[in-house]
Structure 1
Amino acid sequence: MASLFNQVPSVSAVFALYTSLSALTLVLRNIFNEIVPKKLRDYVTAKFLDLFSSYFQSNFTFVIEQKWDYCGNTTFTAANVYLTTRLPGSSTGKILVGSNDLKNPAAEPNLGVPVNTKIVDEFEGIHLEWTLHYVESKNNSYEKKYFHLTCKKEFREKIMKDYFPHFAKSAAKIMRHRQDLYIYTYDREELSWESAIFDHHTTFETLAIEPELKTTMIEDLDSFAKGKDFFKRVGRAWKRGYLLYGPPGTGKSSMVAAIANHMKYNIYDLQIQSVRDDGELRKILTATKNRSILLIEDIDCGADSSHRRETSKEEDVKLQKNKKKRDLGISLSGLLNFVDGLWSSCGEERIIIFTTNHKEKLDPALLRPGRMDLHILMDYCTPFALKKLVVMYLEIDDHVLFDPIEKLVLEVSVTPAEVAQQLMASKNIDIAVNGLLEFMENKKVKKEENTKVEEKGEIKDAETKE
């Protein structure tokens, strides 16, 4: 025992050895820092830390950011939708709740994923932990959201192969059967889309359009919804474009609502006149989600999509100078690049709708085949549309004044909006129908007066030329 005790080094010897090793380490580190370039040192250090953490840590974390390159990350969206189904009955300490349904304040609020709160899930016996993180810059110039999905390291491949498709399919099923639709508008100050519940009740059943147009639209939309394999096979982006044109008040907005309700798509309503330039437009449009409608109303008033007027050389010079002084907004080429250019492939199952009151003012490039798949004329009332409106608003199939009113519809131009306004003037059926008849008779008188004035003007012009 005594001999064993004598073999134990003294404290002074241990201290001397420690001092020598520390000095040697310091010398080696200085040599390493002097000889090895900084980039190589950082690389070696990172590899060492990775090796250290992989050896001692048993967990693996997937990071799912809200943005993927320029586009929204569909995996992030799917995770957000899927996790809301895991919240009821969850043992988590917090749940995000809220509602923007102003028509029913007492309705049960929706559930959302709170930030920095662990949500536990299980997949085929594998324990999983989700956490939503949020980072915002000090000057509020950008924000970043991302999920952490943590599992045991040995299940990494299985989670990637089986669990990701599982929650993506679950989310897609939920979105296809969602009850609430939303309409989004772009907030230029916040640089983000702001949403509100879309509670427009117009459907193809209530829309006052000709049966042929109704059948065409429904068949086209249903074919588009089932066309994923077709678009992939022919090498085209899975999107559809509609140009709605016609006089104001002929139901263009109602047609958009009917399409959204039929397809169960959210609407992104873009006021294109407020967009600064093509770069901002690209960011705005790539932030929209799949299974949605991009609506650009009054396209003839935005970008440079309308015919440019003839200008003199002096005016051209002034325009070029003004171009440098002020922001002229987006270009037609920038818009078309998203409609059918390379950027149109950023997303799928999207419908793009342009509306205009003046199709003749649009640049021919916008009307070229392939840009807008269908050009739909939303015209003045026909006898069929008129009767449809009367049935809906007054709930009657016949009236003694129907015949004279239908004859007047063929003689004067009256919009569905004007007819609806007259039918809503009174709850008394006779008063409402008489008011509509009087309104249309006045329109006929004004039309005849305008025709006489135009004829007199033409006669005077002819006499002046003679």
Structure 2
Amino acid sequence: MASSFSTKIPSLSAIFSIYTSLSAFTILFKTILHEIIPVKIRDFIISKFTDYFSSYFNSNFTFIIEEQSDYVTNQTFRAAQVYLPTLLPRISTRSLLVSSSDLKNPLAKPKFGIPVKAKIIDDFEGIRLEWTLLSAKDNDNPYQSKQKRYFHLSCKKEFRDKIMSDYFTYIAKSSVKILTHKENLNIYNYNPDCQRWESAIFQHHTTFETLAMEPELKNTLIRDLDAFSNGKDFFKTVGRAWKRGYLLYGPPGTGKSSLVAAIANHMNYSIYDLQIQSVQDDAMLRQILTSTENRSILLIEDLDCSGADASCRNEHKDEGENGKTKQNKKKKKDTKVPLSGLLNFVDGLWSSCVEERIIVFTTNHKEKLDPALLRPGRMDVHILMDYCTPTVFKKLAALYLEIKKHDLFEPIKKMLLEVKATPAEITEKLMVSKNPDVTLKGLVEFLESKKMTKESVDTETKEAEA
């Protein structure tokens, strides 16, 4: 019996011979695979074998959620970005992103975020889900230097349909609820190097309550904003994009930026501050604006300096006409984004990409803007931010000096009707001292000086005309 068993065990030489044969076959197979079979066919065969064995032995299913979807930001990716930080206590990795963008309060509680390759566990109706944030270079677009970010969401195969039908809807609704009740607003600036909006906490304290503005105009604007906020069904019924355009025009220092801050605080909207002069072309403009969020303010300041003036209409005139061709070509080079590209995001087809958006343009010279931009339906409301009036002065005095009456109020009001002084200039004088007598006396002297300068200029003008 023992001799029979020993005869069944292969000898060491036989085992070595089999190993040598297998090694030779493996080397031959690799040679054939690498030198005879083309690379694409080889990769295809390997991927098929990998998919087969992974599907056979792996019971999980993975959803891939990329940051970009077609031309715009993937809204499912954005919803996950908002929702997942609420699950940070369930993070399974030993790292965490820590950041603070509150420039006014260095002691503010930091925000915690999800680092790349971190895994977060979620539980949805008894289903265990695993989220992972990943990042890789976008090889499909060699001209872009930014990293391509995406989430992996893994679950058991049998729950795939449940996740597709219910879970993604759940995180979308959760993200909307979180954004609606957010505590801090953000102000965004576009970074062309990484091709992404970068944010800081927006803590401008101007509200409509503290804004020095004519009461009738202020109340009209508040009613208009509230009607817009509650007008989703109306805009859908009439077939218009849910947006509102405001043009703030007037001299520098008349409170245009403060009004934007008051609108943001009233609506609880973050601000996307776009420097239109830095945009290279229409394609870049579309990419920038379609990556903004719903319920936001798009702010484009100093529109008259961005190439949206009436001279844009002369860009396509024939050479030699009135001797202006060279000048127009120069303007065309300076104006990177044509007016048509800007108008497409005001009332064109692309304006419907983002819902509940307020577009605010500011300019110091409304008369220089192209009439096409001022046409009804593009800028819905035109608001003149004018020089300081007696009513605005009284509001400023109440805010800065905490007084409602003073003997110098009447002389100041009369001079404000005779000379042009911006609210910014008046505010500067009101901040000189907390003593109303000292401050208002200095303001009177300032206005008298402006009045004398104005009279001197008028006299010189008359003499020149004569």
Deviation at 1:309, TM superposition (A): 9.4
Structure 1 residues 389-417: Cα deviation after superposition (integer angstroms, max 9, x where no partner): 00000111111111111122222222110
Is 1:83 the counterpart of 2:78? The answer is no
The alignment of Structure 1 onto Structure 2 pairs a total of residues equal to: 446
Query: What residue in structure 2 maps to residue 406 of structure 1?
Result: 413
Residue among 171, 177, 182 paired with 1:173: 177
Query: What residue in structure 1 maps to residue 275 of structure 2?
Result: 271
Which amino acid is the alignment partner of residue 423 of structure 1?
Answer: L
Taking the aligned partners of 2:390 and 2:409, their CA distance within structure 1 comes to 10
TM value normalised by structure 2 = 0.85
Is contact 2:312–2:339 with CA below 8 Å preserved after alignment?
no
Q: 1:334 to 1:400 in 2, by over 3 A?
A: same
Taking the aligned partners of 2:464 and 2:396, their CA distance within structure 1 comes to 38
Is contact 2:124–2:167 with CA below 8 Å preserved after alignment?
yes
Which amino acid is the alignment partner of residue 186 of structure 1?
Answer: Y
Query: What residue in structure 1 maps to residue 122 of structure 2?
Result: 121
Q: 1:322 to 1:243 in 2, by over 3 A?
A: closer
Query: What residue in structure 2 maps to residue 452 of structure 1?
Result: 459
Which amino acid is the alignment partner of residue 131 of structure 2?
Answer: W
Is contact 2:306–2:335 with CA below 8 Å preserved after alignment?
no
Residue range with higher mean Cα deviation, 95-104 or 143-152 = 95-104
Query: What residue in structure 2 maps to residue 464 of structure 1?
Result: none
Is contact 1:276–1:328 with CA below 8 Å preserved after alignment?
no
Query: What residue in structure 1 maps to residue 383 of structure 2?
Result: 376
Deviation at 1:431, TM superposition (A): 0.7
Query: What residue in structure 1 maps to residue 67 of structure 2?
Result: 66
Deviation at 1:83, TM superposition (A): 0.8
What secondary structure sits across from 2:345 in the alignment?
Answer: helix
What secondary structure sits across from 2:89 in the alignment?
Answer: coil
Deviation at 1:318, TM superposition (A): 2.6
Q: 1:105 to 1:293 in 2, by over 3 A?
A: same
Deviation at 1:110, TM superposition (A): 0.6
Query: What residue in structure 2 maps to residue 318 of structure 1?
Result: 326
What secondary structure sits across from 1:182 in the alignment?
Answer: strand
Structure 1 residues 285-344: Cα deviation after superposition (integer angstroms, max 9, x where no partner): 2222222211111101112433359896374443476589x5641100011112211211
Is contact 2:145–2:194 with CA below 8 Å preserved after alignment?
no
Deviation at 1:137, TM superposition (A): 5.7
Deviation at 1:158, TM superposition (A): 1.4
CA RMSD of aligned residues (A): 3.4
Gaps of 5+ in 1: 461-466
Is contact 1:60–1:151 with CA below 8 Å preserved after alignment?
yes
Identity, in percent, stands at 62
Taking the aligned partners of 1:360 and 1:74, their CA distance within structure 2 comes to 40
Taking the aligned partners of 2:234 and 2:226, their CA distance within structure 1 comes to 13
Deviation at 1:212, TM superposition (A): 1.6
Is contact 2:312–2:338 with CA below 8 Å preserved after alignment?
no
Taking the aligned partners of 1:337 and 1:47, their CA distance within structure 2 comes to 46
What secondary structure sits across from 1:88 in the alignment?
Answer: helix
Query: What residue in structure 2 maps to residue 189 of structure 1?
Result: 193
Which amino acid is the alignment partner of residue 111 of structure 2?
Answer: N
Alignment of 1:382-461 (within 5 A): 382-458=389-465, 460=466
Query: What residue in structure 1 maps to residue 291 of structure 2?
Result: 287
Deviation at 1:57, TM superposition (A): 2.7
Query: What residue in structure 1 maps to residue 210 of structure 2?
Result: 206
Is 1:152 the counterpart of 2:156? The answer is yes
Which amino acid is the alignment partner of residue 338 of structure 1?
Answer: F
Q: 1:456 to 1:180 in 2, by over 3 A?
A: same
Deviation at 1:38, TM superposition (A): 10
Gaps of 5+ in 2: none
Alignment of 1:83-102 (within 5 A): 83-88=84-89, 90-102=91-103
Query: What residue in structure 2 maps to residue 108 of structure 1?
Result: 109
What secondary structure sits across from 2:377 in the alignment?
Answer: coil
Which amino acid is the alignment partner of residue 305 of structure 1?
Answer: D
Which amino acid is the alignment partner of residue 77 of structure 1?
Answer: R
Q: 1:44 to 1:240 in 2, by over 3 A?
A: farther
Taking the aligned partners of 1:412 and 1:320, their CA distance within structure 2 comes to 38
Q: 1:116 to 1:319 in 2, by over 3 A?
A: same
Is contact 2:90–2:120 with CA below 8 Å preserved after alignment?
no
Q: 1:308 to 1:92 in 2, by over 3 A?
A: closer
Is contact 1:277–1:328 with CA below 8 Å preserved after alignment?
no
Is 1:303 the counterpart of 2:310? The answer is no
Is contact 2:90–2:122 with CA below 8 Å preserved after alignment?
no
Query: What residue in structure 2 maps to residue 364 of structure 1?
Result: 371
Q: 1:334 to 1:405 in 2, by over 3 A?
A: same
What secondary structure sits across from 2:108 in the alignment?
Answer: coil
Which amino acid is the alignment partner of residue 303 of structure 1?
Answer: G
Taking the aligned partners of 2:70 and 2:329, their CA distance within structure 1 comes to 36
Taking the aligned partners of 1:428 and 1:322, their CA distance within structure 2 comes to 54
